Amino acid sequence: MTLGAGWSKLGKKTTIGCIGRSSPGTCSTTATPTQPPSSTTSSGKSLAASLHLSRSSSTGGGTPSMAGVLGRVFPLGRAVEELGDRRSSRFSPAPSTLILGPARCNKSALLVQAAVSEAAADGQVLFMAPQKLQRLPPGVHGMPTPSSSALENVRFLYAQNECELTGYLASLHKIPAGDRPSLIVIDDLHFFSHGQNIDAASQLMNAARILSLAQESAEFCSNSPECRVARPCGVLAAWTLGSGALKKDEVVPFARSLCHYVWSVHRKAKNSGGEEYHLVEEEQGRTCTVEYSLRLSPSPHLLLRQVALEERGAQGPK
C-alpha cells in the first residue's frame, strides 16, 4: 500500500490512499471511528489525524482543502492534506459541497454519514429533507455510528417546499447560539428548487437562492461567539440528476459557481455482493476519485477502497 507518494508526473495518477479488499472485520487500514488509520507517507508525514473540517479564511485559517466535508464521510485521516492546494477564496466563507448523482445511488447515505460524524465530534447538525427517512441508510465502515448520543445532536427538518426550507434557514438566528448548527445538510436539493411548469432557468435561480441562503446562515452560525466547535459551519447538499428540466451539463457549471466542491457519483458495477462506486471531483486540472463499495454482508455498509488524484497540465512537487 502506498500513501501520499507525492504528485505524479504530467498526466499520471497518484494513489493517495488504498484500502485493501477485505471484509469489515479484517480491514487492516480502516480504523475505528475515533482512531483514524495510522500510516506514513513516503516523505514521513503521518496520516493519522482528526477528521475535523479545515478552517476557512474568515475564521483564521486557510480556505477549505480539496476534500472538504468528505473527511466526515470516509476515513481519510490526514490524507485530505495530500489532495492539493487550498480552494479559491472567491466562494462563500462557509465550506460548501454539492454531491450529484442518479437516483438510488446512496447519496443520502453519504449525507447521513457526514451528519453522524459531525454530531459525534460534538457538532450540531441541521438535516433538511422533503420526507422522513424510513430507516437509516448504510453507514461507512470505520466512521462513527449513529449512536443515540450522536443523533441527539442532529435536528431533522422535513420541509414540504422551498418556502418552508428557506423560512427555517432565515430563522436560524432566533435559536439559542449553543444549538446553532456546525453543519447544514440539504438532501434532495433538486426537489426544493423544482416546481410545476418551471423551466430550467427558474430552477437554477431557485437552487441558487437556497444555496446562498444556506451559506449566509452557515456563516452567521460560524461567527456566533457561543459556537460550540472551533471550525466553520459548512453546507452539504445532494442533487439527483434526471429530476426536472435540468441536465447534468447545466447543473455542474452552476454548482461550481457557488460551491467549493462538486462531487459526482458514478455507479461502476453491480453484483450479488453489492455495488461499486466512484465519487469524482474535477477542479483546476486535477481529478480526484474516491472509490468505494456498497457491501450487503454481513449487513449493508459502505467501504472505502482508495483515493486517487490525477494531475493534468502541470507538474507538481517530486
List, for residues 58-105, the tens digit of each pLDDT value.
333 344 454 668 889 998 876 666 654 445 545 678 889 999 999 999
Please state, in angstroms and rounded to a whole number, the distance separating the CA atoms of residues 260 and 70: 12
Mean pLDDT of the chain, nearest integer: 77
Rounded to the nearest 10°, the torsion over CA 143, 145, 149, 150 is 50
User: What's residue 86's pLDDT?
Assistant: 45
Higher pLDDT, 81 or 298: 298
What pLDDT band is residue 264 in, cutting at 50, 70 and 90? very high
Please state, in angstroms and rounded to a whole number, the distance separating the CA atoms of residues 59 and 191: 32
Whether 34 has a pLDDT exceeding 70, the answer reads no
Q: How far is CA 239 from CA 4, 142, 253, 264, 279, in A?
A: 31, 26, 14, 10, 14
Three-class SS state of 149: helix
pTM assigned to the model: 0.78
Cell, residue 208: 441558487
Cell, residue 242: 434526471
Whether 44 has a pLDDT exceeding 90, the answer reads no
Q: What is the largest CA-CA distance in the chain?
A: 58
Within 130-285, strands assigned E span 139-140, 154-158, 183-186, 234-240, 261-271, 274-283
Check: CB of residue 187 under 8 Å from CB of residue 60: no
Higher pLDDT, 153 or 12: 153
What pLDDT band is residue 149 in, cutting at 50, 70 and 90? very high
Q: For the domain 53-274, what is the CATH code?
A: 3.40.50.300
Q: Kindly report, residue by residue over 186-218, the tens digit of the pLDDT.
A: 999 999 998 767 788 888 999 999 999 999 999
Higher pLDDT, 52 or 146: 146
Whether 167 has a pLDDT exceeding 90, the answer reads yes
Whether 317 has a pLDDT exceeding 80, the answer reads no
Give how far the C-alpha of residue 103 lies from the chain's centroid of Cα atoms, to the nearest Å: 17
Check: CB of residue 198 under 8 Å from CB of residue 148: no
Q: Is the peptide bond before 130 cis (omega within 30 degrees of 0)?
A: no
Please state, in angstroms and rounded to a whole number, the distance separating the CA atoms of residues 171 and 143: 32
Mean pLDDT of 130-145: 94
Residue 255: which region, alpha, beta or left (left: phi > 0; alpha: psi -120 to 50)?
alpha
User: What's residue 13's pLDDT?
Assistant: 60
Query: So where are the chain's domains?
Result: 53-274
Please state, in angstroms and rounded to a whole number, the distance separating the CA atoms of residues 56 and 41: 26
5-32 b/e (C-beta count within 10 Å ≥ 16 → b): eebbeeeeebebbbbeeeeeeebebbbe
